[in-house]
Amino acid sequence: MTNRNHEVVVTGVGLVTALGVGGDLHRTALTEGGFSPEAISDSERFAPYTVFPLPQIDWSEQIPRRGDQRQMENWQRLGVFAAGLALDDAGLKEDAEACASMDMIVAAGGGERDVAVDTLIVEEGRQRNDREQLLNEKLTTELRPTLFLAQLSNLLAGNISIVHKVTGSSRTLMGEQGAGISAIETAHARLAAGQSTHCLVGGAFVAERHDMLMVMEAVHALARNSLKPFWNEDGTANGMNLGTAGAFLVLETREHAEARGARIYARLDGVLGDRGSRDEDRLEQRLARLCDETVPSAKSSDTVIFCGAAGTPELSRRERQFLSKRYPDSPLRTWGAVVGHSLEAQFTTGLALACLAIDEDRPVKPMAQGADAETAKPPRSAIVTTIGHVRGEGVAHLSKLS
């Protein structure tokens, strides 16, 4: 683990989910309850699958130029918007000097496909045997060069630089949940080692995509019954419901944050990610090691566990079982039950919710119907986990400053 010469703190939270826009709304949902997945999800448009769609957003609040909005896909707009929220929240949006020296690490997926062209190729391919020639024809006649430009994953970081003038070093990571975990881990390591003083980190995912639904269905990950709760009575999960999320954090060294008088949400004590075989008990062994190296001590009822379970039945059962056995006194909160699972943005979404909960200093209401225990204690710390639906595991620990 990185030698932590500097404490790392969170000073800005930018969050958009199907619940709505901004930290205040999510803070209220965390502490006052009223989670209603049925009210904000869509089980009809992509039946038999359920998605948590984009909420109503006025893009101009964070992306004022129409030209900038038009040249982005929705997932890029969402990321740029959430990044702007985080910068605003940290009090850095109008600080040109701070933005110019700010590092940026983005977790990104691939761009959206042209579904009309995909459908055309499939339909014509059913009537022809020379499918290689068919593909070559369509590549030259149907695909727009601008489509491919919009699909480039590092354009999210590029658009954040253009719109918000964040022009320090820039890194874009790909690889679904693992990318989100590695983005936070890398940012924390650089800040802790003194290689950076302030960093914008996060990702975005839009659930309303036929291509992503197809990919998830191909590995038999998706839930098919919108009426079932996230957790079944036997402890397994009901399947994955994709959730839209844009989540960015501003991380700083404590010295840098205190020198400018910044509000601090929480200290990010440690974060680690890994990947490997999940056969037998290797997943549990790996999770135990990650917890040993990130969570400073045994946790109690004033620590909330934000469980990032994807919803895949057996895998999520193992995640929940591990956390329940290791931290039996700490209440579990499965945020995927109320806003869906957001792949690259999943880990940052959990960290954002944890920061809001710690800062609010009130008990966190249950999220998963019939599975989350009530608690009367405000959280003084939080453990955030994410286990990828195929690969990648991450654990982070946050705590309230003394």
The reported pLDDT for the residue numbered 1 is: 40
> Mean pLDDT, to the nearest integer, of 245-260?
98
Residue 362 has pLDDT above 60, yes or no: yes
Q: Which of 2-16, 23-37, 237-251 has the highest mean pLDDT?
A: 237-251
Q: Could you tell me the fold of the domain covering 8-111+152-399? A: Peroxisomal Thiolase; Chain A, domain 1 (3.40.47)
The reported pLDDT for the residue numbered 56 is: 95
Confidence bin at 2 (pLDDT 50/70/90): very low
Measure the CA angle with vertex 145, ends 142 and 151; round to 5°: 105
Which of the pair, 210 or 147, is modelled with greater confidence? Answer: 210
Cis peptide before 48 (omega within 30 of 0): yes
In whole numbers, what is the pLDDT of the chain averaged over residues? 92
The reported pLDDT for the residue numbered 146 is: 55
The reported pLDDT for the residue numbered 149 is: 56
Confidence bin at 118 (pLDDT 50/70/90): confident
> Mean pLDDT, to the nearest integer, of 366-385?
92
> Mean pLDDT, to the nearest integer, of 71-83?
93
Where along the chain do its domains lie?
Answer: 8-111+152-399, 115-149
The residue whose two tokens read 């020639």 is 133
Closest CA to 393 of 243, 314, 279, 288: 288
pTM here is: 0.92
Cα(99)–Cα(93) distance, integer angstroms: 7
Give residues with Cβ within 8 angstroms of 103, minimum separation 6: 168, 169, 170, 171, 187, 190, 196, 198, 199, 200
The reported pLDDT for the residue numbered 34 is: 74
Cα(209)–Cα(235) distance, integer angstroms: 29
The reported pLDDT for the residue numbered 121 is: 86
